[in-house]
Amino acid sequence: MSEQRKLYVRSFGCQMNVYDAQRMTDTLAREGYVETDSPDDADLVILNTCHIREKAAEKVYSELGRLRKAQEEAGRQQMVAVAGCVAQAEGAEIIKRARAVDLVVGPQSYHKLPELLAEAEARRSGKAGARAKLVETEFPVEDKFDFLAPPTREAIGKRGPTAFVTVQEGCDKFCTFCVVPYTRGAEVSRPLAKILDEVIRLADGGVREITLIGQNVNAYHGLDAAGRPANLAELVRRVADVPGIARVRYTTSHPRDMDEELIAAHRDMPALMPYLHLPVQSGSNRILAAMNRKHDRELFFEIVARVREARPDIAFSSDFIVGFPGESDEDFADTMDLVGRVGFASAFSFKYSPRPGTPAAGMEGQLPEDVKSARIYALQALLDRQKAAFDEACRGRRFDILLEKPGRFPGQLIGRSPYLQSVVVEAPREAIGTLARVEVREVSTKSLSGDILGGEFFAGRPIGETRFIGQSEKLEA
Ligand code: SAM
Ligand code: SF4
């Protein structure tokens, strides 16, 4: 191993980027890089960027400006790489706009990072004073996952009991507002056995909950050992069977790809969490058609009903876009109506942001900012009320939480409910990574809190609401 250097990675955007950042860190660990949480003492800074909306992309340039200023003030020599979807979409433009950058690398080339960095370093030192630049944004044919290093046991342990695993990348749906098909490329599914190997390794390192991720995860069709395509339901079942894995989630799904088997998996598999992120984007059929979403509101209602029938305690979350070109007051009213009919436990909503190169960016009927603002305000107010009502309905409910990390105060741990709510409980650190049965006692806007009734760590121990609090204090002392 070469000499130790410090690496700082900052990720913007979605879970795919969080996963990619971990795999880049694991790959560079082999080259002697150790992670630091400050850009100021890093030898290498990687900005792992998001291009989905204009604001997300602009953040990168302001961060690069800040980095350059800090470098100049401290007289520091630091390598800077821009990765992720802005790198893919804007390539050489980044080098033109941001002088601090040494390397631009797209999401399909992360496995080449060690050699690209070595080349960028050599170029930089080869030209006295001038910074030579390197841009790698090809879509190579090899499976990058074969070349990215897996995490060590130590790295898995540090990241806690939940993990993302990318199972599918890219998208062939071509919604007219979206850059993903251009930045992440065509849809590709990883083979089943490779995903299972990764899950086994994670479980061996103490991971209990796996979230299978992909831009269009329920279009998964990776090959099984016999060379036949396996669907997401099959993959979920196989992942849930891995010893140590207690919970499985998947995201993000497209309504069109919610097949019968996947819906049945929600009925038959207790390990599959009763929480489904199913983006709908709009409640207006006219707008859904203009978005090329390949589903209408009726299909969305039908899927929600079928999933609810299969798993009555399921809760839904979704993504919404307001102010798509040509969206009228009536179209927006249809979105509000859809939200009212379905009822969401949580949701993400965005003002439409024209993305260069996408069909919607050139459509007539682009809406002014004040119309978008008024609509997003109204939609978010409704979604916030629904979230508050859902959380409130959890008061007094009993469910398992996965204890993930210490809380703010001594003796507290934070776990996640089946619905991804943070739940604060009194419990000793040794219980992290175990499932605990809780009864929800209090509900606030940020989190729930509850009393532990039992669970894996507490089996056979004399716990009750108050007795346990005393016991945790003793264990902490
Ligand atoms: N594949 C997923 C799907 O089909 O819904 C999500 C992909 S994207 C990473 C996450 C969300 O960003 C989308 O669901 C959409 O709501 C939002 N989004 C994508 N492009 C957008 C744009 N141009 N303007 C505003 N929001 C956008
Ligand atoms: Fe983008 Fe649509 Fe593909 Fe989702 S399904 S990634 S919104 S093109």
Distance CA 415, CA 423 (A): 5
Lateral strand order in the sheet of 44-49: 33-35, 5-11, 44-49, 79-83, 103-105, 134-136
Residues at the annotated binding site for [4Fe-4S] cluster? Answer: 14, 50, 85, 171, 175, 178
Mutate to test the pocket of ligand 2, among 174, 188, 215 (most ligand atoms within 8 A of CB): 215
Please tell me the number of the ligand nearest to residue 170's CA: 2
Please state the φ and ψ torsions of residue 205, each to the nearest 5 degrees: -85, 5
Decide whether any atom of ligand 2 lies within 6 Å of the 181 Cβ. yes
Mean pLDDT in runs of 10 for the chain (477 residues)? Answer: 82 92 94 92 94 88 90 87 92 84 91 90 65 69 77 92 95 96 92 96 96 96 95 98 97 97 97 98 98 98 98 98 98 98 98 96 98 98 98 97 96 97 96 96 95 88 41 33
Looking at residue 272, what DSSP letter applies? Answer: B
**CB count, 10 Å around CB of 290?**
21
Distance CA 192, CA 225 (A): 8
- What is the DSSP track for 135-187? EE----SS-HHHHSPPPPHHHHHHH-SEEEEE-EE--S---TT--HHHHT-S-
| pTM tops 0.85 | yes
Q: How far is the CA of 107 from the centre of ligand 2 (A)?
A: 17
Distance CA 376, CA 370 (A): 10
Distance CA 52, CA 35 (A): 27
Distance CA 325, CA 360 (A): 7
Q: What is the pLDDT of residues 178-209, one digit of tens each?
A: 999 999 899 999 999 999 999 999 999 999 99
**Measured between alpha carbons, how far is residue 302 from residues 299, 306, 307, 345, 452 in Å?**
5, 6, 9, 18, 37
Atom number, ligand 1, closest to the C-alpha of residue 354 = 23
Decide whether any atom of ligand 2 lies within 6 Å of the 175 Cβ. yes
Decide whether any atom of ligand 2 lies within 6 Å of the 180 Cβ. yes
Kind and range of the H or E element at 463?
none
Residue of 419, 269, 273 whose CA lies nearest to 343 = 419
Q: How far is the CA of 439 from the centre of ligand 1 (A)?
A: 35
Does the N-terminal peptide bond of residue 252 adopt cis geometry, omega within 30 degrees of 0?
yes
Q: How far is the CA of 52 from the centre of ligand 1 (A)?
A: 7
pLDDT at 166: 95
Q: How far is the CA of 380 from the centre of ligand 1 (A)?
A: 16
Q: How far is the CA of 215 from the centre of ligand 2 (A)?
A: 7
Please tell me the number of the ligand nearest to residue 187's CA: 2
User: Exposed e or buried b for every residue in 183-219, given b needs 16+ CB within 10 A?
Assistant: bbbebbbbbbeebbebbebbbebbbbbbbbbbbbbbb
> Do residues 376 and 336 touch, judged by C-beta distance below 8 A?
no
Pocket of ligand 1 (CB under 6 A): 14, 52-53, 177-178, 180, 215-216, 252, 254, 279, 281, 319, 321, 350, 352-353, 355
pLDDT at 461: 61
Decide whether any atom of ligand 2 lies within 6 Å of the 173 Cβ. yes
Distance CA 124, CA 205 (A): 39
